[in-house]
Amino acid sequence: MKTILMCPPTYYDVTYEINPWMDKTKPVNKPLAWEQWTSLRRTIESCGATVKLIEPVNGLPDMVFTANAGLIYKNRVWLSQFMFPERQGEKRHFDAWFRQNGFDVYADDTIYEGAGDSLFLGKLLIGSHGFRSDEVVYSNIKTLMLNDEVEILSVGLIDSHFYHLDTTFAPLNPNVAIWYPKAHTEKTCKELKAHAELIDVSPEEANRFACNAVVIDEHVILPSGSPKVTKAIEARGFRVHSVDMSEFLKSGGACKCLCLPLN
C-alpha cells in the first residue's frame, strides 16, 4: 500500500514571494484552503493510499508542500537544502520526522528541493536543475544514497513558472508520463522522449498545474480544469480524479506539491 506524507495547512498563507505565482496582495482563503486540502487527502485515501501527517509549524507557511522535504528511496531519504531562506527553517522539522519514523537520513549543503525536482520513471530517476536544485547534487545522491542501484537522468528546466520538475512532468507508470514540453530544454525533450511515451499538456492546462499529479496505481489525482489531458489519460486506462486547488495555486503548488510518497 502506498503511503504519503502530508502537512495540514494550519499556517499556510502567502506572506512572501519566491516564485512568479506568489502575490502577497492576493490573500489566501484559509477556510477554502482547508477544504481543498481535506478533499485531496480524502481522495488519496479513497484511492487506497495511507496518509501520514507531520505537525505544521507557525512561521513556515510553505511546509504544507511536503514534496520538497526530500527524496525517498526504500528506507532512505536525501534531505532537501532549500534555496530560499524563507523555507530553510523547514529542514530541521522534516529531518526530525524522518528520523523518528525510521528513515536513514542523508544530506549535504548542495541546493536541492527533493521530490519536487526528482521523480522516478520506473527504475530511472529523473532529476531536474535550473531553478531550485543544483545539478551536482545528483552525483552525490547516486553514490551515497542510491548505491548505484538506480540510474539518474539529469534534465534542465527553462521556464521560471515551472520551477520544479513536478510542475511540468508526471510519470503515470514506468512507460507513460504527462508533460509540458515548453518548460524543458531541447536536449531534455529528446532525452525524455527516448525513455517514455509522453502525453503533451497544453499551455492553458499546464498553467493550471495539470502536471502536478499524484499517481496511486491506476488512479491519477490532478487539479480541476484540465479536461484535455484528463481525456488523454483516461484513454490509456487510468482513472482520473480532479480536485480544486485554487488556493494552493496562489503559492505555485497543487496536488503533487502537497504530497511526499514514502514508499
Q: Active-site positions? A: 164, 257
- Pair 126, 151: CB distance under 8 Å: no
How far is it between the farthest Cα atoms of the chain? 47
Q: Which residues contact 124 (CB under 8 A, 6 or more apart)?
A: 150, 151, 152, 153, 195
Q: Which helix (H) or strand (E) holds 100?
A: helix 90-100
- Pair 68, 80: CB distance under 8 Å: yes
C-alpha distance across the termini of the chain, in Å: 8
Which residue in this structure is represented by grid cell 527533493?
Answer: 114
* 3-state SS string for 221-261: EEECCCHHHHHHHHCCCCEEEEECCHHHHCCCCCCHHHCEE
48: left (phi over 0), alpha (psi -120 to 50) or beta: left
Q: Which residues contact 107 (CB under 8 A, 6 or more apart)?
A: 78, 79, 81, 95
Residue 219 grid cell = 488512479
